[in-house]
Amino acid sequence: MQRILSVLVIFLLSATVVLAGCSSSTGTPATGSAQGTASASAASNLVTSPTDVIPDNNAVTVTVQEKVYDGKIPVVFNGGRGQNLVKSIEVTLYTSDGQVRKTNLGINKDDTISLQGSKDPNNPDRVVVYVSEMNGETYKVADVLSTYRQH
């Protein structure tokens, strides 16, 4: 059983190496333009990842709402058990057109900011929210794709 598992792992690693070598394009030579790089990094910035687990006594929530008709994305600090421990709240917006904007949200309950997202109805924007606490800990409390409101 262990021998079969070893052979399978070696086969998968070999296949990965072979496929990685076949991924280069030969159609268009590189011209030094950063446009291709920007769109590739923009696409990778639009992939969400899991948020952190905050201890119950430090828990706070931030709500990232859907984009409204003009592309604005409301972000609201809802407070929580640990709201008195919050030192700062940093919000990062990754737009579908490749821009990255950082701003701070107030630390009082119901503080709200409105981020200017892209106006492309077919491509969502990503919003990531980090809460820093007085004890030095920083937690990612939100990581969402904000799409246009559907109603």
Which is more confident, 131 or 35?
131
How many CA atoms does the CB half-sphere of 90 hold within 13 Å? 10
CATH T-level fold of 51-146: Immunoglobulin-like (2.60.40)
Residue 95 burial by Cβ neighbours in a 10 Å radius (0-12, 13-18, 19+):
buried
* The predicted structure's pLDDT at residue 115: 96
Q: Do 119 and 88 touch, CB atoms closer than 8 A?
A: no
Residue-wise pLDDT for 60-76, tens only, equals 999 999 998 889 999 99
Q: Where residue 41 falls among pLDDT bands split at 50, 70, 90?
A: low
Q: Where residue 36 falls among pLDDT bands split at 50, 70, 90?
A: very low
Domain spans in the chain, listed from the N-terminal domain onward: 51-146
Which are the contacts of 138, defined by CB distance < 8 A and separation ≥ 6?
130, 131, 132
User: What mean pLDDT is predicted for residues 31-58?
Assistant: 68
Residue-wise pLDDT for 99-130, tens only, equals 999 999 999 999 999 999 998 888 899 999 99
